[in-house]
Amino acid sequence: MAKIVVIGAGMSGLAAASRLATLGHRVTVCEAGGTYGGMVGRYEREGFAFDTGPGLLTLPAVYRDLALKTGKEPLEQLVELAPVDPESRHLFPDGTAVTLPNASRGGVSQALDAAFGAGSGARWSAVMNHGRTVWEATRRPLLEEPLPAERGVLSPADRALVGTDPYPVPPRTGLARLRRARPWSLEHVAARELDGHPGLTALLCEPALRYGFTSAMAPAGATVLPYMEQSFGVWYVRGGLRALADAVYRRCELRKVAFRFDTPVTRVVVEGGRATGVETADGRIDADLVVSAMDTDAFYRHGLAEWPGMPPEEWEPVEVPGRFSVLLALRGPRPEGTPHRTVVHAADPAAEANALTLSAPPCERPTVQVLRPDDPTLRPDDDHESVVLTATVPAQDEVDWTDPGFADRYADRLLAHVDAAGLGLRERILWRVVRTPEDTRRETGALFGAVARPALAGSAGSWLKAANESPVPGLYLIGGNAHPGGGLARVGMSACIAAGLIGPA
């Protein structure tokens, strides 16, 4: 039996702790805040309740596996899980609307033909077939297996292996064959395989945009993101995703995991060249192994461990956009037939991309996701409704999100934008709560309050994450900024990979 300290009680920390305790280890979790869940937070007031982080789940198989591997009850006995159908409704600047069914490639094709004209569904399906090619090539190395790293450092050969985009780019013809090939991006896919159609382009790029990728930045292989959602479905947990965090926490308790809340770790103790414990304000906790579920960029920057050949002051994290959310308590019942998820697309996609890449002010009318779950547990009664608006915005380093006046004015713009698309929310507002990347930074410790991006193939490995085995023996890295990256499914996978590397007691 090894003594293991897990730093952070976010979803990856909870998942790792429950798996490691099931393997026979004695596990202690140190959490800087007063509760668990990390990004999967909850806000409650006057009978209303809201998820303050992600609101939907993809690849629930990750948490089904966690439930089965750490206890006897399947996930469906721990939480009430249901597919979201329709998966989403999309509203475009020209007034076009399209409703997409959940986990039905054929149904999506028919909906696109009806909205955008005959042949649109076929073009979309061809791109999704290429997304399937990416999925089949990257599922194991980028989701299920550890990076082939030696103490956290990829060899050039291995970086080339996982750094090559498997998206099947059409062969070049004519004079183009004489020019050096450049990696394709989502922008190339949209222009050449979707004929630059603005609606299809917006649908292709919206899943990547949620992670702060613009179409010009994301590799062509990012087509795997919409492919996964449309092929495997999108799911909702009754009571909000906080209910999933509650379930995993209860599983940790069942497995006798010890928790120390309000206990920030100030340093990982390294003796004899390996991690031997952690320092906290309450003193040292000895351990045989340490697993950090902290934001990896913050972990490096704050110098919580001495990295071989990498002083903390030389660590240069990549600035990534964050999320801006407005929690709305509405009077009046949820209208009949309202989709769970509506996406109001940006009025000017180029302006949105500039705001996220050129240190420009936030886009005035960006892409906004509107979540309106038909869940009685989130509202005081059926004469009220709880709604969450979310947009991807420049993170804290680019915009002063600590200015409440600026944040409120930006919330007004988002409401005006979605109401112009026909949602009619403003007139029903009882009260609202505005959440910015600064709230994310304060509550989770993420640098800049940024979103955690998924690991993607391509770009010579520049979209990969830190390996789960750190450069320090005995120290493992999990969570959104470790392999395989951000998103609820991926952080659960990072916990599974790390537990597999550590092995049973």
The verdict on 221 and 179 lying in the same domain is yes
153 found inside a domain:
no
* 178: pLDDT strictly greater than 50: no
The verdict on 108 and 224 lying in the same domain is yes
The string of pLDDT tens digits covering residues 495-504 is: 999 999 999 9
Residue closest to 342 by CA, chosen among 437, 425, 451, 227: 425
199 found inside a domain:
yes
447 found inside a domain:
no
Q: What is the pLDDT of residue 183?
A: 77
Domain with residue 277: its CATH number is 3.50.50.60
The verdict on 383 and 466 lying in the same domain is no
Residue closest to 161 by CA, chosen among 458, 463, 372: 458
352 found inside a domain:
yes
The string of pLDDT tens digits covering residues 273-315 is: 999 999 998 999 999 999 999 988 888 878 888 777 666 666 6
SS3 145: coil
Q: What is the pLDDT of residue 347?
A: 95
**164 is in which domain, residue-wise?**
103-146+160-230
Question: How many domains does the structure of the chain reveal?
Answer: 3
| Contact predicate 364/351, CB 8 Å | yes
The verdict on 247 and 284 lying in the same domain is yes
The verdict on 127 and 199 lying in the same domain is yes
Token digits of residue 94: 């020209």
| Per-residue pLDDT band at 180 (split at 50, 70, 90) | very low
The verdict on 497 and 467 lying in the same domain is yes
The verdict on 201 and 248 lying in the same domain is no
Q: Which of 170, 198, 230 is the last residue of a domain?
A: 230
7 found inside a domain:
yes
Q: What is the pLDDT of residue 296?
A: 87
The verdict on 344 and 414 lying in the same domain is yes
The verdict on 328 and 311 lying in the same domain is no
H-type helices in 400-474, by residue range?
404-420, 437-444
66 found inside a domain:
yes
The Cα–Cα gap between 409 and 123 comes to: 40
Handedness of CA 31, 210, 361, 298 (dihedral sign): positive
Q: What is the pLDDT of residue 158?
A: 60
The verdict on 272 and 341 lying in the same domain is no
Q: What is the pLDDT of residue 177?
A: 45
The string of pLDDT tens digits covering residues 418-437 is: 999 999 999 999 999 999 99
| Per-residue pLDDT band at 154 (split at 50, 70, 90) | low
Q: What is the pLDDT of residue 150?
A: 66
| Per-residue pLDDT band at 163 (split at 50, 70, 90) | confident
Q: What is the pLDDT of residue 234?
A: 97
Q: Is the pTM of this model over 0.85?
A: yes
Q: Work out the mean pLDDT of the chain and round it to a whole number.
A: 91
Token digits of residue 14: 């909870």
The verdict on 192 and 76 lying in the same domain is no
94 found inside a domain:
no
The Cα–Cα gap between 307 and 366 comes to: 40
90 found inside a domain:
no
Residue spans of beta strands (DSSP E) within 250-344: 258-260, 265-271, 274-280, 283-286, 289-292, 322-331, 341-344
Token digits of residue 196: 């630059």
Q: Which of 195, 230, 265 is the last residue of a domain?
A: 230
The verdict on 185 and 124 lying in the same domain is yes
| Per-residue pLDDT band at 156 (split at 50, 70, 90) | low
